[in-house]
Amino acid sequence: MKQKTTPIQPIEEEAQQEENETALKIEKLEDQLKRAVADYQNLQRRVEEEKKEVMKYANKELFTNLLPAFDTLFLAGKYTEDQSVKLTIQRIMEILKENGIERIDVDNVKFNPETMEAIDVVQGESEMVVEEVRPGFSLYGKLIRPSQVKVGGKDLVN
Q: Are 123 and 136 in contact (CB under 8 A)?
A: no
Do 77 and 42 reside in the same domain of the chain? no
pLDDT at residue 118 is higher than 90:
yes
In a domain, 114, yes or no: yes
Do 54 and 115 reside in the same domain of the chain? no
pLDDT at residue 7 is higher than 60:
yes
| Predicted local distance difference test score (pLDDT) of residue 23 | 92
Query: How many Å from the N-terminal Cα to the C-terminal Cα in the chain?
Result: 120
Do 51 and 82 reside in the same domain of the chain? no
Instruction: Please state the rounded mean pLDDT for residues 31-59.
Output: 91
- Integer CA distances (angstroms), 4 to 7, 10, 11, in order: 10, 12, 15
The number of domains in the chain is: 2
What predicted TM-score, i.e. pTM, was given to this entire model?
Answer: 0.67
| Predicted local distance difference test score (pLDDT) of residue 89 | 93
Which domain does 45 fall in, by range? 12-58
